[in-house]
Structure 1
Amino acid sequence: MKKSFLLIFLIANSICFFGQELSFKKIAISDSVAIANQMQQLAKLCNTENVSELDLFRIQLIRGNYIDALVTIKKRIKETPKEERQYLDVYLQYVEAKLSKNFKETFINSYKNYLEESSDIHVINLDKTLILRDATDYYISDFNESYSSISSDRISIDKAQDLIKKYFLKTVFSSTRTLYFDEIRHDHKRRYIINDSIVISMKDGAEVSVVLVQKRGQSTTKKAAILVSSIYAGSNETGAMLAASKGYHGVITNTRGKRLSKSPIIPFEHEHTDVYEVIDWISKQSWSNQKVAMFGGSYNGFTQWASMKHKVHPALKTIVPMVSIAPGIEYPMENNVLHNFSYSWNFYVTNNKYLDFEASGDYNRWNTLKNTWYKSGVAFNKLDSLDGQVNKLWNTYMAHPNYDTYWKKMIPYKQEFAKIDIPILTITGYYDDSQRGAMYYFNEHNKYLQNANHYLLMGPYDHWTAQTKPVESLRNYELAPSALINIEEDILYQWLDYVLKGKKKPSILNDKVNFQVMDTDTWMHKPSLSAMTNDTLKFHLSDEKSNDLYTLKSNPNSSEIVLTVDFKNRESMNNTEYYPWPLEKANINLKDGLLFKSNVLEEDVIINGSFLGDLEFTLNKKDVDLSVILYQLTPEGNYFHLSYYIGRASYAQNKEQRMLLKPNQTNKVHLENSKLISKKIQKGSRIIVVVNVNKNNNAQINYGTGEDVNSESIKDANIPLEIKFTGNSSISLPIWRENYK
């Protein structure tokens, strides 16, 4: 007893006020009891005036004032809709359990009752929030690292409060994770019959793993099946449960080699036959009514198109591809420029039968790799040598820089789109990394099939929110209320019910092309992409300067604007701000590329669509990777990122065949396939255009020799690139004028 009292006394006296700082003596992080006591004493010194309700609760809980903490969290919960309080409910049950005599038993019983009183959809969302996106290990390491990093014998009040917050998260979730994991999974079994041991043999002898989810009491009822085909094994069960809760049978099939399949894991290459065979298997089951629909995003969007490569299965009635990647089109390259983000993805999906979160989350490894590569100047095809681990899939990508037969065999190609005659709803976002993949399918389908029954839904969404539920703020842009639609739970199932059950079509789909106009609270609905615009703003580059920026002119001119890029210089990079994050900022790098500004716009206009570029230039190389970024300079002086383009000039005319440029002669390159956007541009704004050359640690560096870019290195950088743009170069913005005549 005396020993315990002495320990508490020493801990309490290891934290003392010193002006606006606290004296602080670190304890071994492994001594959990001492750490807990120290954090309790630290919490008692924290000022609770002018703190948020949630911060007050955290401080009260770590202080051990559980009764006060209970009052505070109940007040916060009362003010929060149930669908937004998944974490708050855990906090409530945690503090109630701390007030009981048996923490574990009380928490389990409380959480079990809570689940039984919840709807199917709420429990599904609990799974997605607390299990699929479980952050407990992060909370533990975040506190441990923050604590261990303290190198002084004093800490600020702010640092103390930050430590309390991190300790709170570590404490609550590390002590409850296994409990609510088990209860959520038990609750799923109460609601659904989940058969996760199905293995189907393909015609070539390979195996594909399948999961079937059915509502209890309805497993023999003939219903339509909602299929998700995914390489992300173990991450789609909640989607199948949602399908079952909406009156369908939910089915998941994983890429061959994943989950229970004994076949090799090879992304992309077999979905064009495997998914069709899974649809055929579904249609022959006793519980099937011979109607199948597919949905899913990213890779799971690609698989839907792959299933129709050779023909559309008679049972497949509709697909809803969201943020769909198009192999060889926008993944892993963008307009034939190979990015390195796919390098780590390969390990994430092929290291084991499920997903390797440890590999994908090893940001130090990936950042070190790309920085080492850039600094060293070695060839791009040496990445895995630098990494110390062979990346077979990556090497395959590099062997196919053209859109050749390797890529073409994966998804429909040209006339193969003409036979796809089922209703389709494509969903993407203005800031979706795979937008150009989604738009490739939409454009090709409409090109080769007249009057295709294909709808498009777009808004201010990114790769995640365009397949789930948009959030109120996207990269510091506040969405209008009309943009806050629930895609995953509402729009998707309104569409599926429309096609499969004959119900009303989603009201938001008033025409074939439906898009939310940023900086307004309205949607526009048009019969085609071309109908989105009724005018064009065309700007020509010029060498006339105003306040350090070149000016954009309305007509061609005799200007020559020179950009010099020294590929040997690795102390700086070019085109580092192409990625739109955040969307609006006070400043941009005025020395990165050639920057041009327009005159002040004299009226409001809406940019609707993808900008085009027609660049005329001479250069001293045989090739170049070009970039164009489009900003709105607002009347308030902020830069709003509208769109961008990155592409290899030698493929601008034909992505299937490289056509080298002519050194020291006039070259004309047409740029298309930029990111589509719809946004109101206010009167008083200017358009900013940044023309640049891509040279950074995020993608290949094209040294311009005309040889394989993957094999080029800094040894090819003896002569800097000099590119001279003429005043015949132009950037064209598709716009909509409300009062256009």
Structure 2
Amino acid sequence: MKKSVLILFLSTISMTSFAQEVAFKKVELSDSVALANQMQQLAVLCDTQNLSKLDVFKFQLIRGNYKEALVTFKKRIKETPIDQRHYLDIYMHYVEAKLSKNFKGAFKKSYRKYVKKSDDIQVINLDKALIIRDPTDYYVSNFKNTYSNIKSEKIAQATAIDLVKKYFLSTVFSSTRAIYFEEIKQDHKRRYAVNDSIVIPMKDGAEVSVVVVKRKGNSTTKKSAILVSSIYTGTNVASTTLAASKGYVGVIANTRGKRRSKSDIKPLEYENTDVYEVIDWISKQSWSNQKVAMVGGSYNGFTQWASMKHKVHPSLKTIVPMVAIAPGIDYPMENNVLHNYSYSWNFYVTNNKFLDFKASNDFNRWNTLKNTWYKTGVAFNKLDSLDGQVNKLWNTYMQHPSYDDFWKKMIPYKQEFAKIDIPILTITGYYDDSQRGAMYYFNEHHKYAKNPNHYLLVGPYDHWTAQTKPEESLRNYKLDKTALINIEEDIIYQWFDYILKGKEKPIILKDKVNFQVMDTDTWMHKSSLNAMTSDTLTFHLSATKVDDFYTLISDVNASEIEMTVDFKDRESITNTEYYPWPLEREQINLKDGLVFKSEALKEDVLINGSFFGNLEFSINKKDVDYSVIVYQLTPENKYFHLSYYIGRASFAKDREKRVLLTPNEFTEISFNNSKLISKKLEKGSRIVVVVNVNKNNNAQINYGTGKDVNEENIKDAVIPLQINFTGNSSISLPIWNSRK
């Protein structure tokens, strides 16, 4: 914009714009020129004195001050490690291209040169950050939604600043995406030979689509293969190129029905035979040295275990399952409580040969569905009726609420673990949604196999970071420096080189169980899960109240603590804070559930492992879904979410067989498979335990009639649930005491 025009514009607005509010009159979002002018004017009016260097750069760029922006940005980018610059490098090439008369040509030339100079790993990470996890559509819609929701002709400075920053992201990525997509893809073709047209016939006549990736320029020496078996078609190319860059052949096998396969899409059900046959196919290829390893997380972790359901293929030398789901154990239910997030997942993976991102990201649809279900109180198995679309896979789940033969056929079961004799590295995180699945495999393998060669690596990671590289903070908690390991690029391939090439074992794997102790900046290494613990802190529930809290005491007592939950009441929900996000907070809801607090710890304590409980209670119904959350109340009076458990009382003794409770009789329910954690609890900390009944819009509602919970509805909520806990109830924390 010319200087004279800007002066004229500034003279027409109130001087108060520079203080509290800024004049704002909407233009049509489709008018890109008018919108750009408006955002430029708005950027000029915003006070950027207290913004970061990166944000100041954004405002300089939107104002059109490209030379100033470049100077600011060069100072900022020097502070960032190269492996964290994926977005920043886009900004750099963008502002440099803006100084050219031919923006697109300049951006393309400079970005191509940048990509060519980058090493294999850097380009792979560009692919993951910019293509596989393409943020552009989100940035564009986020800006448009924010803009459209502004109703006033004056906006606060904070709103203006937020709008300009969102416009920056929207305009930078939307104007460059097509260019950097093409440059990254062309660079892959320069580095790798990709055969993506392979279709393998299965013995039962079905088809599996396979992709093979090799690094160009390598010798003709036969190589080991790194196999990813996945339903997430199109998202695992980076894994195979990483394998090729590390000196292996990368192979992707997609679930039958996906990609080029003409078969019906069948998630979960056939991996137990299909993956074995893919391994067999790999072992017979001319480029194969008959050594195959598998890697992958979540669903791709499950497929590794599924491949060994019937027998271990002779060419399968190792697996590295990360955050592996275990069907029927932690997906789609956890301790037999079925969550509804799996409802939308089914459409995401079965709507087409690749992935239906539009359906998956239709958050309005999914939020409306679960809220409508909760408000109306219809049965859980009627979700697709409310949705208006048939969900075949969901309806199949509805027929199998216990761990029955439908689930057992998918992965090794009991003695089937005994034959698994290859080296295994299991990776999970304290805040991994699939930790229970990962630990199920680990525990069952150790239970049935004799001295298995099975290692565990676990730290303060979630479902995503336990598969990749953790960032400095997780859900507002700053990680110790020792926790910042590169799992995907370093640890895993050190393991593969150890098993497949005879190199040294990864240094971090000093024993079979390796875990990072939060707030100590150290790792511990033990021979087994039991060896993590040397002592136990046991607390009993007590009816004695101090302020807003019931108390946790060391002894059994005669207390009775009553809780009432009215399932007819759909204006309120319970158990709203069981999910650990954020990890640390100033307050918790003291009116949601029964909240108990201990005395202050007299010394530092290391909590190592999974907390367990024995709850004695009576209810006036035949069943109940309950939860237990454990917090550390720090000396600074902040609540740190340590771990939680959620489960169904009638399946407490056996996930395969439902045993209903007798109404109004006391019973003891035990559990020991809460989320594992290791953390230092400072002297002066207190333990806070929240015992609750699950009633919200994220999972089934167990009305307690004894019928199949999937079929129960609000008509079954005749009387409120009355649950009465006794002082025999206890929660126990496994701890490490170096003096024992």
Q: Secondary structure at the match of 1:711?
A: coil
| AA matched with 2:206 | A
Matched residue SS, 1:185:
helix
Query: Could you tell me how far apart the structure 1 residues matched to 2:3 and 2:506 are?
Result: 67
- Output the CA distance in 2 between the equivalents of 1:666 and 1:703: 19
Deviation digits for residues 519-566 of structure 1, max 9, x if unmatched? Answer: 111111100001110111111112111112111221212111111111
Structure 2 distance, partners of 1:29, 1:74, is 32
Partner in structure 2 of residue 249 of structure 1? 249
User: What is aligned with 2:637?
Assistant: 637
Q: Distance in 2 between matches of 1:362 and 1:8?
A: 41
Q: Which amino acid aligns with 1:563?
A: M
Task: Please say if 1:309 is aligned against 2:309.
Answer: yes
Tell me what 1:155 maps to.
155
Q: Is 100-109 or 430-439 further displaced after alignment?
A: 100-109
Specify the code of the residue in structure 2 equivalent to 1:365. Answer: R
Equivalent residue number for residue 195 of structure 2: 195
Q: 1:649, 1:669 within 8 Å by CA — same for their partners in 2?
A: yes
Q: 1 CA distance for matches of 2:292 and 2:447? A: 26
Question: 1:17/1:149 Cα in 2 relative to 1: closer, same or farther (>3 Å)?
Answer: farther
Question: 1:47 offset after TM fit, Å?
Answer: 3.1
How far the C-alpha of 1:17 sits from its partner, in A, is 3.7
8 Å contact 2:467–2:488 — kept in the other structure?
yes
Aligned partners of 2:214, 2:54: CA distance in 1, in Å?
39
Tell me the distance in 1 between the aligned counterparts of 2:683 and 2:282. 56
| Alignment correspondent of 2:538 | 538
Partner of 1:711: 711
User: What is the CA deviation profile of residues 88-122 of structure 1, one whole-angstrom value per residue up to 9, with x for unaligned ones?
Assistant: 21111112211112222211111111011100000
Q: CA deviation at 1:697?
A: 0.7
* Counterpart residue identity of residue 20, structure 1: Q
Cross-structure match for 2:172: 172
Rate the CA distance shift 1:17–1:346 in 2: closer, same or farther, 3 A: farther
**Shift in Å, 1:81:** 2.0
The answer to whether the Cα contact below 8 Å between 2:6 and 2:41 also exists between their aligned partners in 1 is no
Determine what percentage of the aligned residue pairs are the same residue. 74
Superposition deviation, residue 11 in structure 1: 6.6
Q: 1:725 offset after TM fit, Å?
A: 1.1
C-alpha deviation, 1:593, in angstroms:
1.1
Corresponding position of 2:41: 41
C-alpha contact (below 8 Å) 1:226/1:295 kept by paired residues: yes
Specify the alignment match of 1:111 in structure 2.
111
**TM-superposition CA deviations, 1:382-426 (whole Å, max 9, x none):** 111111111111111111011010000000000000000000000
What's the TM-score, normalizing by structure 2? 0.98
> 2 CA distance for matches of 1:11 and 1:144?
24
Mapped partners of 1:726, 1:63: distance in 2? 66
- Rounded Cα–Cα distance in structure 2 between residues aligned with 1:611 and 1:292: 37
One-letter code aligned to 2:650: S
Is the Cα–Cα contact under 8 Å of residues 616 and 667 in structure 1 kept in the other structure? yes
Aligned to 1:204: 204
Contact 1:603 1:682 in 2 (8 A): yes
Aligned residue in 2 for 1:56: 56
User: Which residue in the other structure is 1:483 paired with?
Assistant: 483
Inter-partner Cα distance in structure 2 for 1:219 and 1:108: 33
The change in CA–CA distance for 1:170 and 1:201 in structure 2 (over 3 A counts) is same
**Corresponding residue of 1:571:** 571
Residue equivalent to 1:492: 492
**2:213–2:251: 8 Å Cα contact kept in structure 1?**
yes
Deviates further, 658-667 or 427-436 = 658-667
- Is the CA contact (8 Å cut-off) linking 1:58 and 1:168 kept in structure 2? yes
Residues 1:228 and 1:8: Cα distance change in structure 2 (over 3 Å)? same
Do residues 583 (structure 1) and 583 (structure 2) align?
yes
* Equivalent pair of 1:16/1:24 in contact (CA under 8 Å): no
Higher mean alpha-carbon deviation, 17-26 vs 293-302, is at: 17-26
Q: Which residue number corresponds to residue 691 of structure 1?
A: 691
> Within the alignment, does 1:287 sit opposite 2:287 as a pair?
yes
Q: Which amino acid aligns with 1:453?
A: N
Counterpart in the other structure of 2:702: 702
Task: From the superposition, tell whether residues 407 and 14 of structure 1 become closer, same or farther in structure 2 (CA, over 3 Å).
Answer: farther
Aligned mates of 1:587, 1:706 — CA distance in 2: 36
CA distance in 2, matches of 1:15, 1:201: 71
Instruction: Give every structure 1 segment of 4 or more consecutive aligned residues whose post-TM-superposition deviation is greater than 6 Å.
Output: 4-14
Aligned to 1:626: 626
Does the 8 Å CA contact 1:12/1:38 hold for their aligned counterparts? Answer: no
The offset of 1:37, in angstroms, is: 1.4
Question: 2:634, 2:38 → 1: CA distance?
Answer: 50
Amino acid at match of 2:327: P
Q: How many residues align?
A: 738
Instruction: Tell me what 2:649 maps to.
Output: 649
Query: 1:548–1:281: structure 2 CA closer, same or farther, 3 Å change rule?
Result: same
User: Counterpart of 1:509?
Assistant: 509
**Counterpart code for 2:293:** A
CA contact (8 A) 2:22 2:45 kept: no
Letter aligned with residue 287 of structure 2: W
Matching of residues 237-636 of structure 1 within 5 Å: 237-636=237-636
Q: Secondary structure at the match of 1:167?
A: helix
SS in 2 for 1:441: helix
| 1:86-165 alignment, distance < 5 Å | 86-165=86-165
Q: Which amino acid aligns with 1:572?
A: S
> Could you list the per-position Cα deviations for residues 310-348 of structure 1 after superposition, in whole angstroms to 9, with x for gaps in the alignment?
000000000000000000001100000000011111111
Check the 8 A contact 1:15/1:42 in 2, yes or no.
no
1: CA distance between counterparts of 2:37 and 2:71? 23
The RMSD of aligned alpha carbons is: 1.6
In 1: Cα distance, 2:23 partner to 2:572 partner: 42
Separation in structure 2 between the aligned mates of residue 71 and residue 587 of structure 1, nearest angstrom = 43
- Name the counterpart of 2:665: 665
State the TM-score, normalized to the length of structure 1: 0.98
| Separation (CA, whole Å) in 1 of partners of 2:717 and 2:696 | 14
Letter in 2 for 1:372: T
Contact 2:341 2:698 in 1 (8 A): yes
State the alpha-carbon separation in 1 of the partners of residues 574 and 48 from structure 2.
47
CA distance in 1, matches of 2:220, 2:9: 63
Comparing 54-63 with 527-536, greater Cα deviation is found at: 54-63
Give distance in 2, aligned partners of 1:120 and 1:157: 43
Deviation of 1:177 after TM superposition, in Å, equals 0.5
In the TM superposition, residue 128 of structure 1 has moved relative to its aligned partner by: 0.6
Residues 330-381 of structure 1: CA deviation (Å, up to 9, x unaligned): 1100000000011111111111111111111111111111111111111111
Would the aligned equivalents of 2:642 and 2:677 in 1 still touch at CA under 8 Å?
yes
Q: Is the 8 A contact 1:428 1:466 kept in 2?
A: yes
Match of 1:730 in 2: 730
Query: What is the alpha-carbon distance in structure 2 between the residues aligned to residue 256 and residue 280 of structure 1?
Result: 16
Q: Secondary structure at the match of 2:211?
A: strand
Q: CA deviation at 1:44?
A: 2.2
